[in-house]
Structure formats: C-alpha cells, structure tokens
Amino acid sequence: TKMNDLLPPLKVAVTGAAGQIGYALVMRIASGEMLGKDQLVELSLIETEAGMSPLRGVMMELEDGAFPLLSKVTATTDLQEGFGDASFAMLVGATPRGKGMERSDLLSANAKIFADQGKALNETAAVNAKVLVVGNPANTNALVASENAPDMWPEQFIAMTRLDQSRAKALVAEKAGVPVKDVDRVIIWGNHSATQYPDLSHARIGGKWAKSILKDDKWIKEDFIPRVQKRGAEIINAKGSSSAASAASAAIDAIRDLHQGSDEEWLSNAIVSDGSYGVTKGIWYSVPTVCNGDSHYRRVQRLPIDEFSAKMMTRTEMELIEERDSVRHLLPGHEAKPV
C-alpha cells in the first residue's frame, strides 16, 4: 500500500498497556495486524501511576519499532482523556489471578475499575466505539462497564472468550491430526471461567461433522472439556504468571474480525444476552457469532441443543448470575434494597 492510500487514523485505547498482555498487544496493533495494513492507527495508552514508568519504556520500544502505520502514541492515567474519541477500547488493565485462585476471586479487586471505565467511556469515547473486555472476570466486568455507560448500547461491549475458542480449536486439530485451519464451528458458551462449556456438537473438521471423525465421546467429555476449562490455570502453574502473548493474540483476532469481517466462521464472543437459547437477559454470555465486517457481532441463532449441552449451558449461566448479584453495588439503579 502506498502511504497516500492509507485510511485516516483510528484511535485505539488500551488500558494496562504496560502489563504482560498490553506489551504484546500494542506492538501488534502498531504493526497493522488488527485494523489492517491500510489503516493508520493512533494508540492511547492508559495506566496507573505506578505503571507510568514501565509504560515510558513501552513507548520507547514503540518508537523504535518505526511502525509506518502508527500515527501517534499518547500515555495517560486520566480515563476521560485516554478514551476521548476512541473507536476501540481494549480493557486489559486489572489484576491477574495467581496459583490456586479462580477468576471470580478477582471480582472485588477488579470490578470497580470497570465501573469507572464505563463512566469515562460513556462521557468521551466515539459514539460507535467498540469495547473489548479482557481483564478478569471478563464477562462480569463487561456487564459492570456497560451498566455504567447508559448512553452506549450494551452491544458495544464484548468480553473476550476468543482465547478459549482458539484453545479448543487447537486441541481438536491436534487430536484429529489436521491443521487448525481445517477446524471450524467450535463454540464456547457462557463464562470465561472453569464453568464455560466448550461445545463440539456443531464443530466441523475439513467440512465434516467433527464428532463423526473423532468418534470419541469419552475424550470430549473427560479430556477436551476440562482441559479447555482449566487451560488458564494450567499455564499459570507452568509459567508462574497468566497467559499473555496468546491472550493478546486472541484480542487482536477478536477486533480484527469485528472490523474486517469473519467470512462464515463462527466466533465465540461474550455479548449481552437477549434471552436467546433461554439464557437470562442482561448477562454477558459467550455465544457463537458471525460478523460481516460492519462492526457488529450477531449471534448464530436456532442451533439445536441436546440434553448434555443444555445442562452445561445452564451451569455456566448460574455462575454468571451469581457474579452479577455479587456486584450489584456497582450497577446503577440495581443496588440491593435495604432489608
């Protein structure tokens, strides 16, 4: 692409930009892997006071990357300034879990961050801004952010389950001995947590029904499902810290497909429930979606759900309801009534 054919810059705000995921993420946004090789991009990096010094280092590295598509980089601790006119906000900044913790243990530490960020996005982000929540517990943080942004559509907020989907695809490809690109229609239902339901009922390998190729229901139920559910913990146990480069990669994939379209592939995203599949309205529940490049993810509707799947889908829904109830104090208008 010639420089004068480039599209005018889009502003991408990234919180927690000096953290593990942020570090991997900003380099790839700058290189054009997310919004396209003909799209100029402006990075707005948001950190805490303590994060400002490492962030200066990250900014130096961004400079040294000499990325032709990177038109501007700014750093701030001020949310309104950081989100101002942003077309995309990637909410990564939050505490990660350590060994032996569940992601929901982070609720009390992290949910408040997302209430403040929702308010600031509401005030200053571009009207059609898209928000990807990565910080854990991602689904409920997205709910909190959205509820604090009353002038934005709930559909503008997505919690990331793309990493879970990629993990599931990779496991199926390995099991079947095929390249990952041959596997499609793998679904993650529900919460980005150990209750999530990685579902192969509709998955295909080379266009054929995966279950008829794998012929191994025991593997699906006893190996595949728990492995995907606990992959985050498996990485923490091995590495001492949570997944970062793969999480950044999944975030790039999720926004790239939202911005540029996904062809026919089903992509798992946790979006606000509209009651489809009998899921309680108003919680952020991962479903299969498609995107035709108009910046909207639409859920794939009317899939047949068997008895096992229905049970698994309800279990993860119940956990999300519990999480929602535990952050009521952060949801304007839904505060618990005094008894």
Q: Is 192 in the site for ligand NAD (CB under 6 A)?
A: yes
Q: Which of residues 145-164 bind ligand LMR (CB under 6 A)?
A: 163
Laid out side by side, the sheet with 39-46 consists of: 70-76, 39-46, 7-15, 88-91, 130-133, 157-159, 267-272, 284-290, 298-299
Q: Toward ligand NAD, which CB reaches closer, 99 or 218? A: 99
Residue pair 142/160 in contact by the 8 Å Cβ criterion: no
Q: Toward ligand NAD, which CB reaches closer, 93 or 282? A: 93
Q: Is 191 in the site for ligand LMR (CB under 6 A)?
A: no
Q: Which does 18 bind (CB under 5 to 8 A by kind): ligand LMR, ligand NAD, none?
A: ligand NAD
Question: Rg of the Cα trace of the chain?
Answer: 19
Nearest to 91 by CA among 190, 157, 163, 24: 157
Least distance from ligand NAD to the Cβ atom of residue 63, Å: 19
Least distance from ligand LMR to the Cβ atom of residue 96, Å: 6
Binding-site member from 243, 262, 286, 316 for ligand LMR (CB under 6 A): 243
Residue with tokens 């009521």: 328
Six-digit token string for 315: 């279990």
Q: Is 282 in the site for ligand NAD (CB under 6 A)?
A: no
Least distance from ligand NAD to the Cβ atom of residue 139, Å: 9
Catalytic status, residue 334: no
Least distance from ligand NAD to the Cβ atom of residue 247, Å: 3
Q: Is 51 in the site for ligand NAD (CB under 6 A)?
A: yes
How many angstroms separate the CA atoms of 21 and 179, rounded?
Answer: 26
Q: Is 316 in the site for ligand LMR (CB under 6 A)?
A: no
Q: Is 136 in the site for ligand LMR (CB under 6 A)?
A: yes
Residue with tokens 């919004």: 35
Nearest to 90 by CA among 192, 11, 155: 11
Q: Which does 148 bind (CB under 5 to 8 A by kind): ligand LMR, ligand NAD, none?
A: none
Residue of closest CB approach to ligand NAD:
19
Provide the residue type at 223 as one letter: D
Residue with tokens 């009390």: 108
Q: Toward ligand LMR, which CB reaches closer, 11 or 103? A: 103
Binding-site member from 35, 69, 92, 283 for ligand NAD (CB under 6 A): 92
- Using the contact rule CB under 6 A, the part of the chain among 56-64, 182-190, 243-251, 274-282 near ligand NAD is 243-251
Q: Is 249 in the site for ligand NAD (CB under 6 A)?
A: no
Q: Which of residues 222-241 bind ligand LMR (CB under 6 A)?
A: 232-233, 235
Least distance from ligand LMR to the Cβ atom of residue 154, Å: 22
Q: Is 18 in the site for ligand NAD (CB under 6 A)?
A: yes
Q: Toward ligand NAD, which CB reaches closer, 183 or 251? A: 251
Binding residues for ligand LMR (CB under 6 A): 96-97, 103, 136, 163, 232-233, 235, 242-243, 247
Residues that bind ligand NAD (CB under 6 A): 15-16, 18-22, 46-48, 50-51, 92-97, 113, 134-136, 138, 160, 163, 192, 242-244, 247
Catalytic positions, please?
Answer: 192
